[in-house]
Chain A
């Protein structure tokens, strides 16, 4: 089966610009997660979708971040306007409804650099 796919793999934007990251989960996976790793720090949870609904968005840093998952398939994460501290690697992961202790399937991440 195809894995979790993230686009783009790298993005360099100027402060104040807008960037949209995309994640295509494994087909049939209801759960979709976004995580972020700021350089040198731990990977931190951003939010969790179950199908098209936001189950938990407690990790979203501020209202400059907007995540959507229309139709319960792929998801986008938009940063508008981008700030320098938004730089990092954004990971997407997906899992089946009842993962029961299994790990997620992660994508390769999008490396975002804000200059």
Chain B
């Protein structure tokens, strides 16, 4: 079975600084997708970024980028120029291809310090 591990329950970052959230996963599959979701307090969980396993190039979305290391089964999220609105719970997730079910990590609570 697939498992996703987020080893950092809480992280903090100074506004305008850079922070990296860690995620590792375990799978025997070769084709899959990886995601980072963000849930601000009491708000909807939204997709931050996704990565196809067959793509070597790391995904980037504005200030958000990932470091995808397939052999190491690592998928970290880097947030540059952190903003107060980045404060949220961040979940790393895995999904097989094809597949419908997501496997999530336990989440990392990110605090942004003004």
Chain A residues with a Cβ under 8 A of chain B: 3-4, 9, 31, 33, 35, 37, 40-45, 48, 55-56, 59, 91, 99, 101-104, 106-109
Q: In whole Å, how far is A31's beta carbon from the nearest beta carbon of chain B?
A: 7
Decide yes or no: A103 and B35 within 8 Å by CB, A41-B106, A48-B100, A56-B101 being known contacts: yes
Nearest residue in B to A33 (C-beta to C-beta)?
B100
Task: Give which listed residue, B4, B44, B50, B97, contacts A106 with CB less than 8 A.
Answer: B44
**Cβ contact within 8 Å between B101 and A45:** yes
> Which applies to chain A's interface (DSSP): helix, strand, loop or mixed?
loop
A33-B100, A43-B107 given; 9 more Cβ-contact pairs under 8 Å: A43-B104, A45-B101, A48-B100, A91-B45, A101-B97, A103-B47, A104-B102, A108-B44, A108-B45
Interface band, chain B: 20 to 34
> Which applies to chain B's interface (DSSP): helix, strand, loop or mixed?
strand
Task: Give which listed residue, A102, A106, A109, contacts B46 with CB less than 8 A.
Answer: A106
Nearest residue in B to A48 (C-beta to C-beta)?
B100
User: How far, in angstroms, from A35 to B95 measured CA to CA in the complex?
Assistant: 14
Task: Give which listed residue, B42, B50, B52, B103, contacts A103 with CB less than 8 A.
Answer: B50
